[in-house]
Amino acid sequence: MGETEYVFVTGGAGYIGSHTVLELLNKGYQPVVMDNFSNSCKGCDSASQRGIPESLVRVEQLTGKEIIFFKADILDKSALRKVFSKYNFLCVIHFAGLKAVGESSTIPMSYYRVNVGGTINLVEVMKEFGVHNLVFSSSATVYGEPQYLPLDECHAVGSCTNPYGKTKYFIEEILKDLHHAEPNWNVFLLRYFNPVGSHASGRIGEDPLDAPNNLMPYVSQVAIGRRPLLSVFGDDYPTTDGTGVRDYIHVVDLAVGHVACLKKLHDNPGLKIYNLGTGQGYSVLEMVKAFEAASGQKVPYKVVGRRSGDVASVYAATTLAYEELGWKAERGLAEMCTDLWRWQSSNPKGFASTVD
């Protein structure tokens, strides 16, 4: 790689974002990160003198490379223009947005304003500055209740069970319309399944601001003693042990998938949709047992009623990403759990922990 290739990363201080920034640095790209700390503000009080949040300070320490950072909001178009006026971006990787499924049902207008409105702002500024390459952080929630398994990219979308999933679906539709009208755009819609784990160093990981919305951060917080027990929502599903089955993917594999998209830009691929998952489903209780084995800690749980909108089983078909991107998940369940425990045990209070 000769001339510096700048990549704009919105929401790059968050869980998936920070791991992707690390992979970008390792591959020779120069990430320019913008974040407003809405999902990643723990540790902001320990930000460096340059104003960089703790998650990215640690990425710099791990890579020995510097991150360009702006604290700003994607709803602030003037802030976006300011960043774009400084750098000639190869591509934008767009993570920024509100992401709590339950919360989205209580404050849906905030989710539409931030997720959909923010993306429109971003795309309009990209057009102004002649940047036409975009990698979008979508979600398997766009599929709704599976009509068949494994879920492939041809499965029907739009039957979303919550406003968060609807924002991802609406953004996908907006970006499809954009590409149809302006075929010079290269757009990747990456449908994530369930990211877990952390960087193998244990220095960066998932740090939920409040009670975790996802299974494995909750499991790890029970194991470390931050929470008394895990609630398992339903044990009467038609699965091996009655608990819900999901496709869990190591966050580092997910981050590597974004870098694979950047490599694909040389082919001018147009609009592409890829599942990023492992193709393997695990039940809630299988995940608990795997984490207990990796951590040596007991994770007490109680079975409670099903949650509205939950389905029995969801897992991905991953052939397309392998055939077209040369990408597949390399890290298995044991590694996911071991790395998650390394992060949680080294940082019992997340980025707010004092770590020597």
Q: Cα torsion for 40, 46, 48, 51, to the nearest 10°?
A: 50
Q: How far apart are CA 19 and CA 63, in angstroms?
A: 11
Q: How many angstroms separate the CA atoms of 245 and 247, rounded? A: 7
CB 247, CB 149: distance < 8 Å: no
Three-state SS for 10? Answer: strand
* 181 contact partners, CB below 8 Å, separation of at least 6: none
The residue among 171, 187, 152, 179 whose CA lies nearest residue 323 is 152
Identify residue 239 by its one-letter amino acid code: T
What distance separates the 2 farthest-apart alpha carbons in the chain? Answer: 57
Q: Which residues pair with 60 in a beta bridge?
A: none
Burial per residue of 239-254, b for 16 or more beta-carbon CB atoms within 10 angstroms, e otherwise: beebbbbbbbbbbbbb
Which of left, alpha, beta for 345 (phi over 0: left; psi -120 to 50: alpha)? Answer: alpha
Choose, from 15, 164, 192, 282, the residue flagged as catalytic.
Answer: 164
Residue 117 parent element (H or E): none
3-state SS, residue 91: strand
Instruction: Report whether 220 contacts 341 (CB < 8 A).
Output: yes
Token readout for 31 is 């990430």
CB 184 within 8 A of CB 134: no
* Distance from C-alpha of 41 to C-alpha of 37, rounded to nearest angstrom: 4
d(C-alpha 263, C-alpha 286), whole Å: 36
CB-CB contact of 170 with 184 (8 Å) = no
- Specify whether 164 is catalytic: yes
Q: Are 81 and 74 in contact (CB under 8 A)?
A: no
Q: Which residues are catalytic?
A: 164
